Structure 1
């Protein structure tokens, strides 16, 4: 593989056998990390990698090149804190919920409420409490939020498949929903969603968490 070929990423949709056939976001990340060519490299948290693949594929050809500078930032982001999956999922849903189709709103509202309950349990807060960004997203879609609260109230409290199935599906639903939404700037919204997911993963890396805790005025989160 010619390193000169790879110096300026030209991103394209889907999975590729090698760089000469093209590359997606995470395939370039695997190359830069020195791993075998793959769109599922070990250098990135699985859910964050899923967000990156979805955003790569749902961004238009004209807008995809803007994602390239973000590639190095996902390398080495492998936090193992249990907050990571529900937090990344929440970030994606918060960006999508106000603009996606009504059908997707119902799906995403349920996933957001379930994830927020997991976060509340981890934080030792009341299960019906949630962070302001999630509350604002739900308030933007009152019909879906009302239905989701009724649905989740009747469901079992434990959701053992949340990290393995619910979160990845919710992330994909959010990304695809934005790409198909009747908004003038879907590529910009997808870029912002991926940036927010990366920032969330960075926050839960051990070094980053220490840094934030030493400067509490820079975050609004309750610790």
Structure 2
């Protein structure tokens, strides 16, 4: 480890920091709690969730950002052991579903396109019900004009896994956070925090499913013992 964990955790602040004494963003603090090298891209958290956490951290006001600190331990260990696409789909879906009803129309179109992309990708891959995607249909119905535009624009296409991870998921996170900040809601800091909490909840459900699946696939040692 190139930077030792500080004796006292620094206050959350905007942006990336070279060392703990200069402050910490949400994911840098998570790297410390995970016992990893100081980084705002630690391996302890799924990339989609980590990207959302960085955006929420940087777009929260200085006055309210410290309220996010209690959520930092919750993201440690929330990652897919085999880069399961379900994590990307579920986290993207819950981000867009939460935000699309709360952002101005200028941000709704990108979120509706993200929801439609997740819906088609889930169906095309036969993944069934993925945690976080349960509200996709309802969210699309709540923004009918933007959903119709997204359907015309996409022309029924299904994007690749690489595009889902590298372009769709980050674009949805950026649109959601920007829309919540600029949407003239009475409590944008609270909306950002609740968005992150919703994503953490979905990641926890995905992790629970991974553990259940692994337990089922593990060999029954009692049955094979001689």
- Using the TM superposition, give the Cα deviation of residue 145 of structure 1 relative to its aligned residue in structure 2, in angstroms: 1.2
Q: Decide whether the 8 Å contact of 1:92 with 1:175 is kept in 2.
A: no
Cα deviation code 1:25-75 (max 9, x no counterpart): 000001111111110001111111101101101111121111101101111
SS at match of 1:182: coil
Which aligned pairs between 1:10-159 and structure 2 lie closer than 5 A?
A: 10-79=11-80, 80-123=83-126, 132-152=134-154, 154=155, 156-159=157-160
Is 1:166–2:175 an aligned residue pair? no
User: Cα distance 1:139–1:37, how it changes in 2: closer, same or farther (>3 A)?
Assistant: same
Q: What is the rounded CA distance, in whole Å, between the counterparts of 1:19 and 1:158 in structure 2?
A: 40
- Residues 99, 182 of structure 1: 8 Å contact kept: no
Q: Is the 8 A contact 1:100 1:177 kept in 2?
A: yes
The runs of 5 or more residues in structure 2 that have no matched partner are 214-226
Give distance in 1, aligned partners of 2:159 and 2:138: 25
Q: How many residues align?
A: 205
Q: Secondary structure at the match of 1:23?
A: coil
Helix, strand or coil: the match of 1:204? Answer: helix
State the Cα RMSD in Å: 2.3
Distance (whole Å) between structure 2 residues aligned to residue 151 and residue 207 of structure 1 = 34
Where do 5+ consecutive residues of structure 1 fail to align? Answer: 212-223
Q: 1:27 to 1:155 in 2, by over 3 A?
A: same
Partner in structure 1 of residue 177 of structure 2: 175
1:201 aligns with 2:191: no
Higher Rg: 2
The alignment status of 1:210 with 2:212, answered yes or no, reads yes
What TM-score do you get using the length of structure 2 for normalisation?
A: 0.83
Cα distance in 2 for residues equivalent to 1:74 and 1:94: 20
Corresponding residue SS for 2:174: helix
SS in 2 for 1:4: coil
